[in-house]
Amino acid sequence: IRRPPRSTRKESSAASDVYKRQLMYRLVYFSSPGRAEAIRIVLDISKLSWENVIVDFSGYSEMRDSKKLPWGLLPALETPSGTLSESCAILRYLGDMTYLKIDDEWQSAKVDECLDAISDMSNILTETFRINNIDEKIAARKKLVDSGGKLSNCYDLFCEKLENSKTGWIAGTEKPSIADIKLFSDCFGLVSGNYDGIDTSLLKERDALLDFHSKISVIPEISSRYEEMQDDPLRWVYCQNAFSNE
């Protein structure tokens, strides 16, 4: 049996990749922005055909108990190759299909570094979700956002990174990366009013973050995604000029 020429096999593989990208991708998460909003933005940027699948806790529990989730957690991305879990892994996977991909190995590593640091910031709030008493929860979060608190320190550090970036992007890349999308999603999502005890005062005198918002919110796919959401109680923070009065 004669094998096809090597070049033919490569073309066949490339054709297969194109076919896979044409199939429907399904992102499964709750209705809130949470850990999925950055993924939704990158999916819009990717131009892939995708479905935003919203589940409630009952729907999530059913998926978890039936072993449909690789690690028992959401978000999950259903792809032509299988189901992928863990939000940063999904961002990396999708980012490689878009102009957000960073080819330089060192810069790509710095993007990963920033991505992990932003995830660490988001995880700081997790410990407060276990507090049932609302007054105690607000008090615990106040300590996090007050000067010297863990969240406050993170926002200061992100401002420092942005101020020291020659390009205005968090990892110092020449173009936006998935780290910038996650910074946009997570930093501004925290101050939307969705979390008791945290509001836009966390952005006070942090001009570098506000300038970053102005820079990234005009990206066409982001601008068009949120142009009708000025009155959305959770996603207004992603609109252009959302903080023009700050």
The phi and psi torsions of 27 (rounded to 5 degrees) equal -100, 125
Tell me the whole-structure pTM to 2 decimals.
0.88
What residues does 77 pair with on adjacent strands? 27, 84
Measured CA to CA, the distance from residue 209 to residue 200 in angstroms comes to 12
- pLDDT tens string 7-36: 333 434 444 454 455 568 999 999 999 999
For 227-235, the CB contacts below 8 A with 24+ separation are 233/192, 233/193, 233/194, 234/32, 234/33, 234/189, 234/192, 234/193, 234/194, 235/33, 235/37, 235/192
Largest Cα–Cα distance of the chain, in whole Å?
Answer: 75
Cβ neighbours of residue 207 closer than 8 Å, sequence gap 6 or more: 159
- pLDDT tens string 95-136: 999 999 999 999 999 999 999 999 999 889 988 999 999 999
- pLDDT tens string 131-185: 999 999 999 999 999 999 999 999 999 999 999 999 999 999 999 999 999 999 9
